[in-house]
Amino acid sequence: MNLKALFHLASDNPGAIKTLAQQHGLDPVVSMGVVKLMIANDGNLSSLSQKQRHHYDMTIKPLIE
């Protein structure tokens, strides 16, 4: 997991997360929370719930790959 990319995304481009979340019918606030949680947990995907993982797969992963 690229923590630099996550941090950059959260701090410099949160609009991209919000836009992608809205395109998928997801709550952008939850998606931003998932990014912050992942940064706090050193990018550990196993700490995410099923719902959080869905937000990650749909709104975060495409932006950091």
> What is the model's pLDDT at position 44?
92
Domain region containing 51? 3-64
H helix or E strand, kind and range, residue 62: helix 61-64
Enumerate residues 6+ apart whose C-beta is below 8 A from 55: 21, 26, 30, 31, 34
Q: Tell me the pLDDT tens digit for each residue of 26-51.
A: 999 999 999 999 999 999 999 999 99
Per the prediction, the chain carries an average pLDDT of 94
pLDDT of residue 18: 95
Q: Please tell me the total count of domains within the chain.
A: 1
